[in-house]
Structure 1
Amino acid sequence: MTHARTNESTSLLRRALSAPAPSTRLQAALTAGSAPTVEDVEALIERCAIEPDFSVRDMLTWALVRNDTPTVVERLLVELGSEVAQARAQALHTLSKIGHPDTWPAITSSLLLDDDHEVARTAWRTAAGLVPPGEETALAETLSTQLNRGGREVQLSLSRALVALGEAAAAAVERATSDPDPGVRAHAIATARLMKDPDEAFEAAIGEARRVVALRAAPAVRD
């Protein structure tokens, strides 16, 4: 349920969201979410783009999810084209929490392949959750081009997205296990292991995958 709020109240919210203390900003976002009003949407989304504290950003998302869905979604879609990487990433994260299927077309290849790791990994997770029936294989093909990207957290995010796609991702992952790049091969092999056993730890899967790749690349020993 949304509530009416005066311009003065919204101005107070903006000031509170700009306070030096994270605890003050957190309380401001909590208050906005406890009595949601569309007048606050702009201030909340603007803060998402620049808020440095993870807990506050999470509370901003919670406040937006509790607000009027059409208003919030429309404004978040604009943020996906922002030049600010955090704005794009936070918009994707909030859209994933809202889970509105009509937002799927906005999860473009440019976001899935974004140069910023945080934007890309958030796009992967969001896309895997919103992909409509019949689009899973195409999404898996796009995601498979990002194998061996970034460090441990980025690679884990990609593997989780591919695992979430299930059988639709199997062919793309299997094909990548023969990629000329040993890093791609290892990440693909690790992902294939996780698809078979989602409970396996990523560190164990990637460690074993790298061992397999190294053994395959080692020259044969002649007697």
Structure 2
Amino acid sequence: MTTLEQARRAAYDLDPTIRQRAAVHLGTLGDDAQSAELVALLVAEPDFFVRETLTWAVCRHPQAALPHLLAALDDAPGARVQVLHALSKIQSPDAVPQILPFATDDDPAVAMKAWWALGRTGTPEAAPALLPHLGHGDEEQQRELSRALEQLGAPGVAGLTDALSTTDPEVRLHAARALVLVGDPAARPAAAALVAVAEGDDREIAMVALEALAALDAPEVEPALERLRDGEDRFRSLTAQWLLADRAERRG
């Protein structure tokens, strides 16, 4: 019996330690032909650490595993979080149409993992599925959406820019926080909108917009910071002064 055959048998052992060793061997020794079985093991695995190792093994052969993972989204509803986790590591744009429905799943854990998987593809098609969730949900959901938009990068910036001018302050705040994470250079097209928020919105949103703005290498940034530094709002003035000094130090 070969080592690969021994590992396949060991993957069904009752002892999770043995299953984890088997997953390592399967990931190391296996080829595309093992992808279907590895995905089946992944969706059935009850132990967190073994699942993580199986996820690594599955993602060693991403193209071969992809159709089996996509099928598992429908066939194994109890394992959707782990399947989406694996899809987020593969980062295939081809998976976007199958992932999109789960961005609005009733289970927050599934929805958040779908956001992450969509963001990691970096495709424009992901943006319309992520942006409507701005300003909604609890702190964890907002944080995970921001992380997904950070991963998405440039394709989400136009929508985040539009969100800065909505009437809902929670949406504006969340959009500004996401733009902080997106950063330069992807967020440069949002510079003018961030200036408007920094100069005109309530202080909490303005401070976040200032943080996002100060990281950008855009022509609007220095004049806006100088206006705020010389303005009457003492808190914004001190913040802008510090940000100008920090930008000068970084340039130096």
Q: TM-score, normalised by structure 1?
A: 0.67
Aligned to 2:106: 115
Asked whether the equivalents of residues 121 and 152 of structure 2 are also in contact (C-alpha less than 8 Å), the reply is: no
Structure showing greater Rg: 2
Measured in 2, the distance between the counterparts of 1:128 and 1:211 equals: 29
Q: Does 1:139 align with 2:135?
A: no
SS in 2 for 1:15: coil
SS in 2 for 1:30: helix
Measured in 1, the distance between the counterparts of 2:93 and 2:180 equals: 30
Given the alignment, which residue of 74, 79, 96 partners 1:81?
74
Measured in 2, the distance between the counterparts of 1:71 and 1:157 equals: 29
Asked whether the equivalents of residues 14 and 43 of structure 1 are also in contact (C-alpha less than 8 Å), the reply is: no
Name the amino acid aligned to 1:130.
T
Name the amino acid aligned to 1:195.
V
Aligned to 2:118: 127
Shift of 1:159: 0.9
CA distance change for structure 1 residues 60 and 161 in 2, over 3 Å: closer, same or farther? same
SS in 2 for 1:76: helix
Given the alignment, which residue of 138, 153, 169 partners 1:166?
153
Given the alignment, which residue of 9, 13, 18 partners 2:10?
13
Measured in 2, the distance between the counterparts of 1:165 and 1:71 equals: 24
**Number of residue pairs aligned between Structure 1 and Structure 2:** 191
Stretch of structure 1 that moved more, 92-101 or 140-149: 92-101
Given the alignment, which residue of 1, 6, 21 partners 1:27?
21
Q: Does 1:102 align with 2:94?
A: yes
Structure 2's unaligned 5+ residue stretches are 186-200, 208-252
Measured in 2, the distance between the counterparts of 1:214 and 1:102 equals: 38
In angstroms, what is the RMSD of aligned CA positions?
3.4
Stretch of structure 1 that moved more, 94-103 or 153-162: 94-103
Name the amino acid aligned to 2:151.
A
SS in 1 for 2:171: helix
Aligned to 1:58: 52
Measured in 1, the distance between the counterparts of 2:75 and 2:163 equals: 32
Measured in 1, the distance between the counterparts of 2:7 and 2:19 equals: 15
CA distance change for structure 1 residues 101 and 144 in 2, over 3 Å: closer, same or farther? closer
Aligned to 1:191: 178
CA distance change for structure 1 residues 63 and 165 in 2, over 3 Å: closer, same or farther? closer
Structure 1's unaligned 5+ residue stretches are 199-208, 216-223
